Amino acid sequence: MTTGSVGSKKIALVRIESDVVMHPLGLIFLGNVLKKAGYDVRVFNIFEKDMERTVDEIAGMKPLFVGFSTLTGAQTKHTHQVSKALKDKNKDIKIVWGGVHPTLLPEDCLKEDCVDYVCCGEGEEFVVELAKRLSKGLDLKGMKGLGYKSNGKIILGPRMPFINELDKYEPEWELLDDFESCVTKLPDGRRQVDFVTSRGCPYNCSFCYNLKFNERKWRKHSYEYVIEKIGILRNEHDIRAIQFHDDNFFVDMDRAFRILEKLKEMDVVATSCMIRLEVLTEEILKRLIRLGVRRIFVGVEAGSDRILKLINKGLTRELIIEKFELLSKFREVSVTAATIIGFPTETWEDICKTMDLGVRLSEIVPDIVVTFQTFIPYPGSHLYDLAVENGFALPDKISEYDKFDTFTGRMELTWLPWADENTKELFYKIDKYGKLLTHSKGTNMMRTLGKEFFYRMAKARLKTRFLAFPWEIAVLHRFNRYYNPKCPL
């Protein structure tokens, strides 16, 4: 197979956000390697409202290719919309999809007329090789990580090998058109950005896409690398707070604490990081507090012991409560407790146990954020197969993937035989009321009273299962930026 147009050195990299602002960390890593290879790169981190304008900008660039990063869900639909619009502008524009969704479902992506190539696996080495071959009109046959079409047939090459020496690659922050749009200003005035120090997770949770996407491999940037890159953010952008987005920041406990120790010396706080609940001890919590960690994120997942066993979580309800009673002694660090409802074979009784556990945890630790996210059947996870056995099927068209999204309350729960059309809205309400369970002291008396009032309402709602007429959610959607503005209620 040979390529079409050649010669252009311009490349556009795109990610389409929902309503949550995050640094497009993956794209600025890819942009860095492409820039070092001599290409003129632009990174577009946009919202749905920006899609039409961005299509015009990219088409005007006449790029060698346009690379999209997409996760399964509404982002997939929006990526498809922009890809199709670009092809309508110029059918010769080459469209490349990468990220979780194309890696898990490359054939489905390549069935779309507007998708020319997919990247299966990590992209740093892939994009440079693809750019070289496309710019020189070289044959693409046999290229690792590449999926493409030839004479109407889908061809998938071997997956890209995992990158073990992550320090070879670095983020190119200057590629962002508006760095400030991704900065969060905290109440104490500190400027915060997102950061990732590792990839993958070694655990075996049966609902997680990591089982196939990273194959349970955990790889890390070195301590020296992490400190150097955060130092650049501090010195050049006055960043004094980091929100770590590692799937598990504490896989290597010694390394994690070395990083936190150094950040404290640099007057940079870790506002959030992921840790396994079962590893928490009094000593670890004391160290986290001493080092200024403000919030930890733990996966609780379920309140039913049967479900906890089904998902290979390695926890029991009793152990979860025991660990939160330990956390209650260390109020200086806040907690986000993530749960999931709607697992395959889960009953309403199981879900009620999870709701009750969320309420119980909020009684133990007032400064808690409880999330009740609807289960997503990620292809490649063990529970995806179980969901299929129970009646689930992926959307027929990529343009329908906004239904494969728990944040908008549109997820079709076809793998739950007892669920009806109203259940997805019910699940959405459960999640929103979970977020009202935090009732720690606010920044002033009115905020404290308001949080306590909404907490009592949410607690009563979840305990009685009376979720009709959700006026509290409507109020929070109006005044709280952490609530999805596209509320369907």
What does the radius of gyration of the chain's CA atoms come to, in whole angstroms? 23
- Scan for tokens 């304008």, then name that residue: 53
In a domain, 485, yes or no: no
Quick one: 449 and 309 in the same domain?
Answer: yes
Quick one: 223 and 281 in the same domain?
Answer: yes
CATH code (residue 21): 3.40.50.280
Quick one: 328 and 185 in the same domain?
Answer: yes
Which of 127, 156, 185 lies at the terminal end of a domain, its last residue?
156
- CA–CA distance from 41 to each of 61, 63, 237 (Å)? 10, 9, 21
Do 72 and 404 form a contact (C-beta atoms < 8 A)?
A: yes
Give the total residue count for the chain: 489
Quick one: 144 and 182 in the same domain?
Answer: no
Q: How far apart are the first and last CA of the chain?
A: 51
Quick one: 199 and 97 in the same domain?
Answer: no
CATH code (residue 335): 3.80.30.20
- Stretches in the chain below the pLDDT threshold 50: 1-5, 481-483, 485-489
Q: Which pLDDT does position 3 carry in this prediction? A: 41
Burial class (CB in 10 A: 0-12, 13-18, 19+), 159: middle
pTM of this prediction? 0.90
Quick one: 142 and 279 in the same domain?
Answer: no
Do 467 and 430 form a contact (C-beta atoms < 8 A)?
A: yes
Quick one: 275 and 424 in the same domain?
Answer: yes
In a domain, 5, yes or no: no
Which of 115, 136, 156 lies at the terminal end of a domain, its last residue?
156
Count of the separate structural domains present in the chain: 2
Q: What does the pLDDT look like over 286-327, one tens digit per residue?
A: 999 999 999 999 999 999 999 999 999 999 999 999 999 999
- Sorted by sequence, the CB contacts under 8 Å of residue 201 that are 6+ apart come out as 208, 210, 214, 216, 218, 247, 248, 251
Both structure tokens of 225: 């690398």
Quick one: 136 and 191 in the same domain?
Answer: no
Both structure tokens of 339: 């749960």
**Crossing angle of helices 74-89/51-61, nearest 10°?**
40
Residue 452 and residue 362: Cα distance in Å, rounded?
12
DSSP conformational letter for 82 = H
Do 373 and 73 form a contact (C-beta atoms < 8 A)?
A: no
Quick one: 393 and 281 in the same domain?
Answer: yes
In a domain, 3, yes or no: no
In a domain, 22, yes or no: yes
Quick one: 453 and 365 in the same domain?
Answer: yes
In a domain, 162, yes or no: no
Quick one: 92 and 177 in the same domain?
Answer: no
Residue 116 has phi, psi (to 5 degrees) of: -90, -40
Which of 106, 125, 156 lies at the terminal end of a domain, its last residue?
156
Domain that holds residue 52: 10-156
